[in-house]
């Protein structure tokens, strides 16, 4: 699987693109081109053909222009990926201002759950995002707005600033891993032409002969129960729902330990 990384481009040029402080790198650009058009075309390439297919040439072909025309607006692929990622983060529903602090109703847990589900939907719309390593995130307006909104979900509930950051990182990191598994499951089904259920039953006759339940008693019992329940070895939706609930349970225990006997649903 192709992996790209944010933060590999020239910092000054990336930031100028992210914040649109200069629309063009020079005055030689075509009047019908813009950073936004180029970025949208690049996102379309990644959405339809995958991140491995992304190149400046491929983007230029989609726009019907020469490849060199793009460099008037975007210095290179590294900077382009930074802007692509920041742009798709702009699809997340992020109310601005203090009025957003109470949305949705139900306290911090409901807010974190809503954020997790929004991230999940975004990753499914743009699965190439899962192939972009962003330990050095693009410091653009949308990434910043999403981070600010996510932190407001747990602001004022008794956590320190570093603990707030850690909780948000924990939840979004879980979603990233869970959706990665779901996307891989979709891809393997498409590549093999075989559903998980078909794969499971194709292996069942052989396993029934070699899998000695006396030697692997727990694996035989639990594997059979899980396989029957999920019609396969893995159910991405069940894994997401079960995992998200357990992550939030753990955060709740932590919040209670920080605020003592006060309700974790109090505060923000």
Dihedral sign from CA coordinates of 58, 75, 51, 85: negative
CB–CB of 123/221 below 8 Å?
no
Closest residue by Cα to residue 240 from 93, 123, 146, 88:
123
What is the C-alpha separation between 40 and 85, in angstroms, rounded?
11
For residue 104, the SS3 value is: coil
Domains and CATH numbers, the chain: 4-89 (1.10.10.60), 108-259 (1.10.357.10)
**Short-list 185, 187, 182, CA closest to 197:** 185
Segments of the chain with pLDDT less than 70: 1-2, 22-31, 96-105, 261-268
Give pTM, 2 decimals.
0.86
Note the pLDDT of residue 29.
Answer: 52
Residue 54 exposed, middle or buried by CB count within 10 Å (0-12, 13-18, 19+)? buried
201 and 145 Cβ atoms separated by less than 8 Å: no
Q: Are the beta carbons of 159 and 165 closer than 8 angstroms?
A: no
DSSP line for 43-66: HHHHHHH-GGG--HHHHHHHHTS-
At residue 103, the pLDDT reads 52
- State residue 2's pLDDT score: 66
Q: What's the alpha-carbon Rg for the chain, to the nearest Å?
A: 23
Instruction: Provide the token pair at 211.
Output: 């899998």
The whole-angstrom separation of Cα 219 and Cα 159 is 41
Query: By C-alpha distance, which of 233, 230, 238 is closest to 199?
Result: 233
Q: Which pairs from 199-207 meet CB under 8 Å and 24+ separation?
A: 199/232, 199/233, 200/227, 200/231, 200/232, 200/233
Q: Which residue has the tokens 């382009």?
A: 80
Please tell me the predicted confidence (pLDDT) of residue 58: 97
Residue 24 confidence (pLDDT) = 52
Provide the pLDDT for residue 22: 66
pLDDT digit string, tens, across residues 38-62: 999 999 999 999 999 999 999 999 9
């Amino acid at each position: 699987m192709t992996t790209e990384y944010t933060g590999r481009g020239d910092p000054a040029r990336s930031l100028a693109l992210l914040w649109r402080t200069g629309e063009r790198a020079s005055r030689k650009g075509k009047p019908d081109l813009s950073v936004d058009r180029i970025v949208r075309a690049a996102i379309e390439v990644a959405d339809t053909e995958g991140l491995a297919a992304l190149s400046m040439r491929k983007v230029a072909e989609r726009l019907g222009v020469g490849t060199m025309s793009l460099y008037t607006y975007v210095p290179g692929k590294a900077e382009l990926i930074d802007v692509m990622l920041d742009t798709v983060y702009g699809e997340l529903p992020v109310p601005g201002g203090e009025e957003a602090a109470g949305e949705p109703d139900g306290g911090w847990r409901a807010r974190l759950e809503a954020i997790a589900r929004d991230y999940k939907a975004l990753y499914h719309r743009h699965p190439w995002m899962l192939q972009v390593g962003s330990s050095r995130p693009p410091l653009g307006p949308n990434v910043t707005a999403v981070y600010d909104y996510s932190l407001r979900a747990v602001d004022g509930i008794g956590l320190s600033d570093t603990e707030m950051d850690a909780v948000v990182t924990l939840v979004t990191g879980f979603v990233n891993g869970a959706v990665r598994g779901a996307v891989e499951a979709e891809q393997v089904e498409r590549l093999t032409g075989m559903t998980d259920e078909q794969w499971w039953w194709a292996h069942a006759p052989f396993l029934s002969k070699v899998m000695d339940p006396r030697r692997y008693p727990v694996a035989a019992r639990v594997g059979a129960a899980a396989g029957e329940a999920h019609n396969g070895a893995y159910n991405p939706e069940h894994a997401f729902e079960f995992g998200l609930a357990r992550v939030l349970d753990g955060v709740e225990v932590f919040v209670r330990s920080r605020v003592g006997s006060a309700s974790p649903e109090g505060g923000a």
